[in-house]
Amino acid sequence: MPKELILSGRVQGVFCRDYCRQNARRLGLRGSASNLANGSVRVLLDCDDERVDEYVRALRGNPFGFRFHGRISDITVTEYRGGMGGDYVF
């Protein structure tokens, strides 16, 4: 079932959407990332819960050493029903 992740913190203007894309590609995941008006970033992923947990751990810990100049303070994960589009598709 698709998941929606909301990333809070210093996540806009700091390469966050590309950071999300790089981690997803490294883990073999597909989805999208979009900046939201409230300053957060929304990531949509179409994968199972175990893969989402792996992705969240990668976003929090940056084990692959990808460039990211921000700080993710919180990640909220919910089930998602809707189109998988976004402004940064990966």
Rg (CA), the chain: 12
**Domain CATH code at residue 13:** 3.30.70.100
In this predicted structure, what is the pLDDT of residue 9? 98
Tell me if 72 sits within 8 A of 7, measured CB to CB: yes
Q: Where does the pLDDT of residue 90 fall: very low under 50, low under 70, confident under 90, or very high at 90 and above?
A: very high
Residues forming the active site: 17, 35
* The residue count for the chain: 90
> Region 75-83: what's the mean pLDDT?
95
Confidence (pTM): 0.94
- How many other C-beta atoms are found inside a 10 Å radius of the C-beta of residue 34? 16
Which range marks the domain in which residue 82 is found?
2-89
* Domains of the chain: total: 1
Element (H, E) at 31: strand 31-35
